[in-house]
Amino acid sequence: MLRLKKMVLAEVPDVVPLFLDESQTQYWESGIRHDAESANELLRGYFRVPSYHWMMFSNGEVVGYGHLLRSDYLEAWIVSYIVAPEFQGLGIATAFVEEVKGFALNEGIEILYASAHTANLASIRVIEKSGFQPADALAHSKENLYRWESKRPNKMQHPTV
C-alpha cells in the first residue's frame, strides 16, 4: 500500500539511499554521482529554500522522495521525484505528482512546472499522464519543460457586482 508523507529535515537520512543508485541520477543535468555525504548535503540544501518535501512509503518502507519548490506566490516547480528501482512502474511517481497537484490547489498555487530530460521517457509519461502540457525546451539543456494550470477560477476574472 502506497502512502505519502510530508517530510521534515530530520528525515533526510531516510531518503539518502535513494540518491546512491546511478539509475536515479543519470538524467540529472549535472551528471553528479552521489555518495552518502554529498546526497545528504544536497537534500539539506533543498530545505534552505521555500520548498516542500514528501517521502513515499510502501508497506512501511521508504521507496521514494519528491520535492516541490515554490518560485513565487502563484507558481511552483516539481524539482524532483525519485522512486527506488524495484518500485518503479507501480504508479508511485504518478501518485506523488497527483498529490502535489492537490497540495498546490490547497496552497493557492495556480501553475506548476516540471521538467524532464528528453531521454527520461518514464518521467515524461508520468508528467503527461498527470495533465502537464509541453511548454518549451529549457535553454542550453537536454530537458523539456511542462506546465500544469489549476482549473480554479481566478478571482480577478470574476469581480463581484
Grid coordinates belonging to 25: 541520477
**pLDDT computed for residue 50 by the predictor:** 87
Tell me the one-letter amino acid at 94: T
pLDDT in tens, 91-150: 999 999 999 999 998 999 999 998 888 888 888 899 999 999 888 666 556 667 788 887
Residue 128 φ then ψ, to 5°: -70, -40
Average pLDDT estimate for 57-79:
90
Rounded Cα distance between 156 and 144, Å, is 31
Using a pLDDT cut of 90, give the percent of the chain over it: 39
**pLDDT computed for residue 39 by the predictor:** 85
Structural domains of the chain, ranges and CATH numbers in brackets:
2-152 (3.40.630.30)
Grid coordinates belonging to 160: 463581484
Rounded Cα distance between 51 and 161, Å, is 37
Query: Which residue carries 554529498 as its cell?
Result: 38
In terms of DSSP bridges, do strands 111-117 and 61-70 run parallel, antiparallel, or are they unpaired?
Answer: unpaired
Rounded Cα distance between 97 and 67, Å, is 10
Name residues whose C-beta falls within 8 Å of residue 14's C-beta, 6 or more positions apart in sequence: 55, 62
Nearest 10 degrees: Cα torsion 68, 71, 75, 81: -20
Is pLDDT at 157 greater than 60 in this prediction? no
